[in-house]
């Protein structure tokens, strides 16, 4: 593990912040925490390591934090933490340079794997390679399956996706099941992540 293996946790949720800190410390990382984006940005010019950044905070959202880091020339790998309803914004954050996003509730194994990737010298290339692979996998979906996945990524509920596509809710559910099979996963969170990564290639 590199000597600068510091994971900065930026989250306004006290309980989640403490839980993440315990997990990361138990895995050998230094894990300072920040309750607000402003507190983190004040310290940012002096920091090394990577950032675990909550997308939705009262004082500033993840996109604004990223913009501030970019404006100040601070290059810290960013991993975004997001709720399902924020997936559409997570796409924007990744387009702005975040390495990845983790959906709440956070899977601990996935978190640690993502943090390890952030400390890899070729982290950006790893993300770009994953995006290319995701784009190829999504190309195997039917046009309707892709439309359903796009609706899910946009945070639209099943009933609204059905309305938008002029099909029944049951048909949307069938397409959801089929697209998971085509993508080789049982997890909608994984399918969403593939869709987000593929969006990076198209952008």
Mean pLDDT score of the chain: 90
14 has pLDDT over 80? yes
Which CATH fold topology does 133-202 show? Arc Repressor Mutant, subunit A (1.10.10)
Residue 83: the pLDDT is: 78
Instruction: State pLDDT tens for residues 24-73.
Output: 999 999 999 999 999 999 999 999 999 999 988 888 988 899 899 989 99
Which of 156, 10, 22, 151 lies closest to 76 in space, CA to CA?
10
Q: In this predicted model, what pLDDT tens digit does every residue of 83-93 receive, in sequence order? A: 766 677 777 88
* pLDDT for position 196: 85
Give the pLDDT confidence score for residue 3 in this predicted structure.
45
How far is residue 118's CA from residue 123's CA, in Å, rounded to a whole number? 6
Which residue intervals of the chain bear CATH 3.40.50.2300? 7-120
Contact 96, 66 (CB under 8 A): yes
Question: SS3 string of the chain?
Answer: CCCCCEEEEECCCHHHHHHHHHHHHHCCCECCEECCHHHHHHHHHHCCCEEEEECCCCCCCHHHHHHHHHHCCCCCCEEEEECHHHHHHHHHHHHCCCCEEEECCCCHHHHHHHHHHHCCCCHHHHHHHHHHHHHHHHCCCCHHHHHHHHHHHCCCCHHHHHHHHCCCHHHHHHHHHHHHHHHCCCCHHHHHHHHHHHHHHHC
CA distance 41 to 127: 25
pLDDT, tens only, 145-187? 999 999 998 888 999 999 999 999 999 999 999 999 999 999 8
Residues of the chain with CATH 1.10.10.10: 133-202
Q: Are 81 and 189 in contact (CB under 8 A)?
A: no
Architecture per CATH, 7-120 = 3-Layer(aba) Sandwich (3.40)
Q: pLDDT at position 84, please?
A: 66
What's the average model confidence in pLDDT over 90-101? Answer: 82
Q: What is the pLDDT of residue 85?
A: 61
pLDDT at 203: 64
Which tens digits make up the pLDDT trace of 125-145? 888 888 899 999 999 999 999
Residue 1 scores a pLDDT above 60: no
The pTM of the full predicted model, rounded to 2 decimals, is: 0.82
């Amino acid at each position: 593990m590199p000597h600068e293996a510091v994971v900065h946790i930026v989250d306004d949720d006290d309980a989640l912040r403490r839980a993440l800190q315990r997990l990361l410390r138990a895995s050998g990382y230094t894990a300072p925490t920040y309750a607000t984006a402003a507190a983190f940005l004040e310290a940012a010019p002096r920091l090394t390591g990577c950032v675990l950044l909550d997308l939705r905070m009262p004082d500033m959202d993840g996109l604004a934090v990223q913009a501030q880091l970019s404006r100040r020339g601070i290059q810290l790998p960013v991993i975004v933490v997001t709720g399902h309803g924020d997936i559409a914004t997570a796409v924007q954050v990744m387009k702005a340079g975040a390495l990845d996003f983790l959906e709440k509730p956070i899977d601990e194994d996935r978190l640690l794997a993502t943090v390890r990737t952030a400390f890899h010298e070729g982290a950006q290339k790893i993300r770009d390679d994953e995006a290319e692979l995701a784009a190829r996998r999504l190309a195997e979906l039917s046009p309707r399956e892709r439309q359903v996945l796009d609706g899910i990524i946009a945070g639209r509920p099943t009933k609204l996706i059905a309305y938008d596509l002029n099909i029944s809710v049951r048909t949307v559910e069938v397409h959801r099941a089929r697209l998971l099979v085509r993508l080789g996963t049982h997890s909608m969170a994984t399918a969403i992540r593939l869709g987000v990564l593929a969006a990076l290639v198209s952008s």
